[in-house]
Structure 1
Amino acid sequence: MRKKTDAVKRLRDVHAAATRAALISAATERFVLHGYAGTSLDDIAADVGTTKGAIYHHFKDKRALFCAVYEQLSRQLIDVVATTATMPSASVESALQAFVISASEARYVRVLFLDGPAALGNVACREIDMRHSLGLITQLIQLHAPADLVETAGLEVLARLLLSSLVEAAQIVASSPDVAAASSRVLMVLNRVVQGLLQSK
């Protein structure tokens, strides 16, 4: 009897996880295409073929669902950058380029850099970004920054400042009517800043 109960519980958990993933996937498409304000929970439920009550079973409200989408996209963006940054021939410049190019994609622009701060607040967005980005940035600094700079400023200070610069760069690109031109300009500035940081005394 216990084995049967455990099997039913596992099946229920698998179904719940699948439903949650489907809701996040559908919500991502809606938020990217229509924005936070233009998306309703009814639309998302209809896309998944479920009810709004099912959404409330997994998420407190639309903001909580949007937060889950933001978290997933933030992690995906950093995974893309990490793939480039951890290649044997990678440089800081190539990692910066990967970030700026990827961050200019529509899904990241709309959710992470346009609607995110308004829907979740800058503090919440920064906490999520730091959770997924700080480790990679710290790793890049350890690999490429001169020892005297790391010792004097400290890894955390350097990583947080660089992360702030990257987020601001992405927001500049996101709000520009000419994404290609804005990407080129911010990448040039970021490269100059990083080159300056990486120069030993």
Structure 2
Amino acid sequence: MAHKPRAEMIAETRAKLVTAARKAFGTVGYAEASMDDFTAAAGLTRGALYHHFGDKKGLLKAVIAEIDGEMWARMSAATRKAPSRWQGFVDECVTYVEMALDPEIQRIILRDGPAVLGDPSQWPTQNACIRNMTATLEKLVEEGTVRVLDPQATAHLLNGTMLYASLSIANAEDQQRASREAVRAMTLLLDGLLAEPKAS
């Protein structure tokens, strides 16, 4: 029987640990998740966790990166369905805010993530989001859709708005209402960037 290539075995081990940890973090939370429990669930040892991720915090980073990739895919899908670059940009921002209603995103990304890893605006995933928003805003300025502005400064402003809107939704008593109001406010804010703002 042929042995699997080393790289494939490493990838499988990492995937098993991330899957088990994601389930644990999403159900009982980071603080209550037992490393012994989720390594056992993955059929692995603590040693494998330390070898591949350093510690529990390193594993949380890997779980957040996986979820972030899925969030990005959902935002990109919303963009592709839009009839114009501008509407795609709006839909992408709205999708991000609406995802704050997802229980797993709330617990891992919006609650445990900041508590364990610090300010989300400093995470690598946020930097990638800002770069993408900056590039889109540059194109929107070039085509005359939005006012002449500094794309990077605007991307930072919008990213912060979306992030803290999401945090407020995750911690609201009435999350559905908080989401509706946040989306409405976000849409009005974005409309203000247009070269010819929509009539109210």
The alignment's TM-score, normalised by the length of structure 1, stands at 0.85
Which 4+ stretches in 1 moved above 3 angstroms? Answer: 142-150
Structure 1 residues 4-23: Cα deviation after superposition (integer angstroms, max 9, x where no partner): xxx97x71221011100111
1-structure distance, mates of 2:180, 2:13: 40
* 1:106 paired residue number: 103
* 2:79 paired residue number: 85
* 2:161 paired residue number: 165
RMSD: 2.2
2-structure distance, mates of 1:163, 1:52: 37
Report the CA distance shift for 1:191/1:116 in structure 2 as closer, same or farther (over 3 A).
same
* 1:4 paired residue number: none
How far does residue 130 in structure 1 lie from its aligned partner after superposition?
2.1
| Structure (1 or 2) with the greater helix fraction | 1
Structure 1 residues 19-77: Cα deviation after superposition (integer angstroms, max 9, x where no partner): 00111111111111111101121111011011111111101111111011112212221
Contact 1:71 1:128 in 2 (8 A): no
2-structure distance, mates of 1:15, 1:103: 34
Task: Name stretches of at least 5 consecutive residues in structure 2 with no aligned partner.
Answer: none
* 1:43 paired residue number: 37
1-structure distance, mates of 2:69, 2:187: 23
Picking from 16, 23, 34, the partner of 2:10 is: 16
* 1:3 paired residue number: none
> Pairwise mapping of residues 179-194 of structure 1 onto structure 2 (< 5 A)?
179-194=175-190
Picking from 173, 178, 192, the partner of 2:174 is: 178
> Pairwise mapping of residues 83-162 of structure 1 onto structure 2 (< 5 A)?
83-89=77-83, 91=87, 92-122=89-119, 126-145=122-141, 146=144, 149-150=147-148, 153-162=149-158
**Secondary structure at 1:176 match in 2:** coil
Larger mean CA deviation between 89-98 and 70-79 belongs to 89-98
Matched letter for residue 49 of structure 1? G
The alignment's TM-score, normalised by the length of structure 2, stands at 0.85
Q: How many residues align?
A: 191
Contact 1:80 1:102 in 2 (8 A): no
